[in-house]
Amino acid sequence: MRFIFVDRLVAVEPARSIETLKNVSATEDVFADHFPGHPILPGALIVEAFQQAAQLLIGMTSGFGQVGRLTRLSRVSFRRFVRPGDQLRLRCDLRSASTAWVLAAQAEVDGRPVATATLEYALEDARADTPAGEQAERLRALARELQQAPLDLAARGIPA
């Protein structure tokens, strides 16, 4: 992942839910063009933040032995603008899991809803020396880095 949209893990319940934070900074490159004099975080980047949180949940649930391949994005709705200085709180809840995962995602700023979506993933084994294995290692490294935040993942049985 070249751009990281998860600054902190707030809560993780493997195979159930994840809650993350993204601090929206005025120095992010996107605000130079979107829009000059009226900076707004693009909806596509909010969806990317959902995706990164969902991938962390999938990885943490499987001990980073699987990654998800986004197969469908539906019911996407944006309610309010997200601007520099906002703290975006994201939550992904697993709605169903079998060979595919379906997650309900929601984002809020100051307790007010800003976006919702449903994400569907096909699960792929993260074998060494494969793109899925490389992705799993990047997710493991991100989780390790985020572990320095107040949430103690090891205490929840999530391998680092």
**Can you say how many angstroms the Cα of residue 129 is from the centroid of all Cα atoms in its chain?**
24
Q: By the 8 A CB rule, do 146 and 22 touch?
A: no
Residue 34 bears catalytic tag: yes
pLDDT beyond 80 at 79: yes
pLDDT in tens, 98-131: 779 999 999 999 999 999 999 999 999 999 999 9
The one-letter amino acid at 42? P
Q: Which of 8, 34, 69, 83 is catalytic?
A: 34
Stated pTM of the model:
0.90
Q: Look at residue 152 in the predicted model and tell me its pLDDT.
A: 57
- What's the whole-number mean pLDDT along residues 131-160? 77
Residue-wise over 62-73: b if at least 16 C-beta within 10 A, else e?
bebbbbbeeeee
Q: Specify the CATH number for 8-151; select among 3.55.10.10, 3.40.50.170, 1.10.645.10, 3.10.129.10.
A: 3.10.129.10
pLDDT in tens, 10-42: 999 999 999 999 999 999 999 989 988 899 999
